[in-house]
Amino acid sequence: MRAAAVLRAVIFDIDGTLAETERAGHLPAFNQAFRDHDLPYRWSTAEYGRLLRTTGGRDRLRRYLLARGHTEVEALADSLHRAKTEHFLRWLHGPRAGLRPGADELVSGLRAAGVRLAVATCGSRVWVDPFLDRFFPGSFDVVVAGDDVRRRKPDPEPYRTALDRLALEPAGALAVEDSVTGLEAARGAGLRCLVVTSAYTRLQRFPTASAVLPGYLAMDQFDDPDRPYLKAGVTADALARLHADPLAA
Ligand code: XBP
Ligand code: MG
């Protein structure tokens, strides 16, 4: 039986978890970068959902270009990804970028409860830092971006790095993710993980998650008798109880 551990930190994923960035932000930025380079490629919403199996936008581009027979792939992937990131930053600073409902309240509640906050994302630091500065200024103690690791999710390195920088054992923290890839990375690092499904991951299966919810807000139709404390939504208290729940994975 797991000792009731104290929740000392929560490690959040970004894309799909704190904000719905993929379909609205990253995807149009990739397609604009193809246009900038006079390339005929345009990723559809469905195709991009499949391409998300490769974490890290530059690697996503590299694999796509290799599969289409390009030769100067490294230089072209670099140039495309630089252009894409410029377009994404413009979106990020614009009026259409925003957080998932309830994410801001949860982060504020965790800080008020003295729980430390970290990020473990495959996204590039060049936009991750401005994202956090805009939406969560001064809130996150540790930020692990795709640039900081050699192996991206589903490898556990991003979460292991966050735990190292927090100086915490896995039992002292909880991960919040939106995808199977992220869940596998968190579980591989020995973390319990709450999954809040996103537009691209609604139909995925999360057998090793401590709980799977469609979002952070209270749900009328919530019917998990083992976790009644989640019915009122994902609050700091609910996360602490999920973290200590002896029945949770
Ligand atoms: C999301 C990713 C990132 C973004 C694009 O990772 O895999 O690559 O799709 O951002 P996570 P970049 O879910 O861990 O946040 O182009 O900067 O990689
Ligand atoms: Mg994600």
* Ligand 1 proximity of 154 Cβ (cutoff 6 Å): no
Residue pointed to by tokens 């149009």: 28
Ligand 1 atom closest to Cα of residue 126: 17
Ligand 1 atom closest to Cα of residue 178: 13
Rounded to an integer, what distance in angstroms lies between the CA atom of residue 23 and that of residue 98? 13
Is 15 catalytic? The answer is yes
Q: Which of 13, 155, 178, 245 is catalytic?
A: 13
* Prediction pTM value: 0.96
Rounded to an integer, what distance in angstroms lies between the CA atom of residue 13 and that of residue 243? 17
| Structural tokens at position 212 | 């799977």
Task: Measure Cα distances from 77 to 5, 57, 119 in Å.
Answer: 44, 9, 26
Ligand nearest to the CA of 16: 2
Give me the tens of pLDDT residue by residue for the chain, a chain 249 residues long.
Answer: 455 579 999 999 999 999 999 999 999 999 999 999 999 999 999 999 999 999 999 999 999 999 999 999 999 999 999 999 999 999 999 999 999 999 999 999 999 999 999 999 999 999 999 999 999 999 999 999 999 999 999 999 999 999 999 999 999 999 999 999 999 999 999 999 999 999 999 999 999 999 999 999 998 777 788 889 999 999 999 999 999 998 887
For residue 121, the SS3 value is coil
pLDDT at 247: 83
pLDDT at 117: 98
Is 13 catalytic? The answer is yes
* Ligand 1 proximity of 15 Cβ (cutoff 6 Å): yes
Ligand nearest to the CA of 153: 1
Mutate to test the pocket of ligand 1, among 53, 63, 121 (most ligand atoms within 8 A of CB): 121
* Peptide bond between residue 154 and the one before it cis (omega within 30 degrees of 0): yes
Q: Crossing angle of helices 57-67/73-92, nearest 10°?
A: 140
| Structural tokens at position 104 | 């801001």
